Structure 1
Amino acid sequence: MTDLRSSSAFPTVMGRRKGYDPEAVDAFLESARAAFESETPAVTSADVRSVGFPLVRDGYEVAAVDAALGRIEDAFAQRERTEALSKRGARAWVGASRKLAQEVLNRLSRPKRKKFARVPLLRFGYRIDEVDLVAGRIARYLETGEGLSVEQVRTVAFRMQLGGYDEVQVDAVLDAVVDVMLSVG
Structure 2
Amino acid sequence: MAAMFPTASRLRTGYDREQVEAFFERARSAYESEQSGAAEDAVDENAVASVSFDLVRGGYLTSSVDSALDRLQTAFIQRHRTAFIAEHGEEKWMEHIAERATTLYPRLLRPAGERFQAPERGRGYDREEVDALLERLTRYFDRDGHLTAEELRTATFTSARRSRAYHEGTVDAYLARAVEVLASVE
SS in structure 2 of the partner of residue 16 of structure 1? coil
Unaligned runs of 5+ in 1: 1-5
User: Quick one: distance in 1 between partners of 2:65 and 2:79?
Assistant: 21
Q: Report the equivalent of 1:181.
A: 182
The offset of 1:75, in angstroms, is: 0.9
Give identity over the alignment, percent.
40
2:87 partner SS: helix
Letter in 2 for 1:78: Q
Alignment of 1:104-123 (within 5 A): 104-120=104-120, 122-123=121-122
Select between 29-38 and 139-148 the one with higher mean Cα deviation. Answer: 139-148
Query: What is the aligned length?
Result: 179
Q: TM-score scaled to structure 2, two decimals?
A: 0.86
Matched position secondary structure for 1:86: helix
Amino acid at match of 1:101: A
Is contact 1:81-1:183 (8 Å) kept? yes
Take 1:175 and 1:97, find their aligned partners in 2: how far apart are those partners?
Answer: 14
* Greater displacement, 123-132 / 11-20: 123-132
Corresponding residue of 2:93: 93
Q: TM-score, normalised by structure 1?
A: 0.87
> SS of 1:56's equivalent?
strand
CA distance in 2, matches of 1:21, 1:52: 10
> Structure 1 pair 93/37, CA: closer, same or farther in 2 (3 Å)?
same
Determine if the alignment matches structure 1 residue 27 to structure 2 residue 26.
no
Relative to structure 1, is the Cα distance of residues 123 and 88 closer, same or farther in structure 2, using a 3 angstrom cutoff? farther
Greater mean deviation of Cα atoms: 6-15 or 44-53: 6-15
Q: Structure 1 residues 160, 16: CA separation in 2 closer, same or farther (over 3 Å shift)?
A: farther
CA distance in 1: counterparts of 2:30 and 2:160, whole angstroms: 36
Map of 1:50 onto structure 2: 50
Deviation at 1:168, TM superposition (A): 3.1
- Cα contact 2:152–2:175 (8 A) shared by 1: yes
How large is the RMSD of aligned CA atoms in angstroms? 1.9
